[in-house]
Amino acid sequence: MSQRYRYDAAELGVLGAEHKAVPVGARALTGAEFVAGAPRLADLPTPLLTLDAGALAANVATMAAWSRRAGVDLAPHGKTTMAPAVWRQQLAAGAWGITVATPWQLGVALEQGVPVVLAAYPLLEPAVLRLLTARPRAARVLVWADGVDVVAEMARHLPPGAAAPVDVLVELGAAGARTGARTTAAGLEVARAVAGQPGLRLAGVAGYEGALAHDASPSSRDRVRRYLVDLADLHARLLAEELYDDVPGGLVVTAGGSAYFDLVADVLAPLHDPDGARGRPVRTVVRAGASVAHDDGFYRGITPVGRATGGSLRAAVHGWARVVSRPEPGLALADAGKRDLPFDEGFPEVQAVRRRGTGPAEAVRDAVVTALNDQHAFVRLGPGAGDLRVGDVLRLGISHPCTAFDKWGLLPVLDDALADEPVVVDLVRTVFG
């Protein structure tokens, strides 16, 4: 059996009341002392969100293997977890870098020693621009720009005589989507503006296809594919106009959330040439971030893994909620709500019950979460749900891990969330400010 990956327990100090996943009796212990006692899931309070050690490791390995087969690099989006220990696990498995979405997240990544950071946004914060240009950096940072106005605003804050230029990727969007130049012609104008600024360096093109579609239907996939072809065409035009300067580390062409990364590889992997065997060195980089935790909702239904690329992903995150009230027939109230669980891509899924919070989990059918308050889940019970009682603990599958981790500063890592008596084997610290 391979050695289990180590997260944060060994480095944590004394646990306190700010760690809502930790039982009251453990608040005088360090993280290492707490885990050394092999606490069981039944010892933890509810509401609760946990990680599954085996599922995390399997998901990281699956995505690393997929990227090798597909012929692309990975820079998983770090905003999903904001857990530096998980980032290190992904980097150790072969990820080229980590993607972030705000200047603050960029600062966290740099402090954590991430070697390559894709800052997937326009960097307009003066202090951060000054930091990046003050001296050559150990880390490579690439930022986005989608308009001539964005380039002008960046340039306005560049200090004179910068020691290092800021590498910029031109972001291509589409009508009705999120950010990004709306046409290839507009993208060309952005590239020319970047190339004309001495403190900026044109380093490639970027995009996010996930804003264009929300399902795996043929029409949605066709729209995504057409967009990716346009992204490749923009890169080709920048090459033809010789707008790219010499870029240490090579040019970057990047797209790929967690829903359509198979299409990104189909269209953009032929551009991947990091050694420059066919001309200018180019890296095709996929940024799928939710795959590390996966889910039992949105991404379970749309992920390319298992549908077209081989391998599998497993939900590595689960919610746990105790039934605290049975006020009327067909209704149970559980003690987890919007403050504890994600709800923007669907309510949690009732999967199983641990009677009185311990022992083997029994599958639950015909039980549906129909609403969440701040601290309560409304669970409607059909005829096939069985008799849920006050004190029973529900295992909940969640949808959209990107809005789950931010509710927890510390997450217990279980050896196997589906075991009869799961045991805490580690702790993961998140950094959400």
- Give per-residue pLDDT as tens, 375-388: 999 999 999 888 89
Q: What is the pLDDT of residues 220-240, one digit of tens each?
A: 999 999 999 999 999 999 999
Distances (CA, A) of 118 to 23, 283, 314, 362, 405: 38, 13, 26, 44, 21
Q: Give me the pLDDT at residue 80, please.
A: 96
Q: Are 69 and 269 in contact (CB under 8 A)?
A: no
Q: What tokens were used for 248?
A: 């240490």
With 60 as the cut, is the pLDDT of residue 54 above it?
Answer: yes
Q: What is the pLDDT of residues 325-376, one digit of tens each?
A: 999 999 999 999 999 999 999 999 999 999 999 989 999 999 999 999 999 9
Q: Are 47 and 63 in contact (CB under 8 A)?
A: no
Contacts of 108 (CB under 8 A, 6+ apart): 78, 82, 84, 100, 431
Q: Give me the pLDDT at residue 1, please.
A: 43
Q: Which band of pLDDT confidence, cut at 50, 70 and 90, is reported for residue 130?
A: confident
Q: Give me the pLDDT at residue 306, please.
A: 67
| Domains of the chain, CATH where assigned | 9-53+313-429 (2.40.37.20), 115-286 (3.20.20.10)
Q: What is the pLDDT of residues 160-182, one digit of tens each?
A: 877 789 999 999 999 888 899 99
- ω into residue 47 within 30 of 0, thus cis? yes
Task: Assign 3-class secondary structure to the chain.
Answer: CCCCCCCCHHHCCECCCCCCCCCHHHCCCEHHHHHHCCCEHHHCCCCEEEEEHHHHHHHHHHHHHHHHHHCCEECCECCCCCCHHHHHHHHHCCCCCEEECCHHHHHHHHHCCCCEEEEEEECCCHHHHHHHHHCCCCCEEEEEECCHHHHHHHHHCCCCCCCCCEEEEEEECCCCCCCCECCHHHHHHHHHHHHCCCCEEEEEEEECHHHCCCCCCHHHHHHHHHHHHHHHHHHHHHHHCCCCCCCCCCEEEEECCCCCHHHHHHHHHHHCECCCCCCCCEEEEECCCHHHCCCCCHHHHHCCCCCCCCCCCCCCEEEEEEEEEEEECCEEEECCCCCCCCCECECCEEEEEEHHHCCCCEECCCEEEEEECCCCEEEEECHHHCCCCCCCEEEEECCCHHHCHHHCCEEEEECCCCCCCCEEEEEEECCCC
CA distance 260 to 225: 9
Q: How far is CA 117 from the centre of its chain?
A: 14
Q: Give me the pLDDT at residue 307, please.
A: 60
Percent of the chain with pLDDT over 70: 98
Q: Give me the pLDDT at residue 162, please.
A: 76
Number of other residues whose CB lies within 10 A of the CB of residue 7: 26
Amino acid present at 206: A
Q: What is the pLDDT of residues 91-128, one digit of tens each?
A: 999 999 999 999 999 999 999 999 999 999 999 999 99
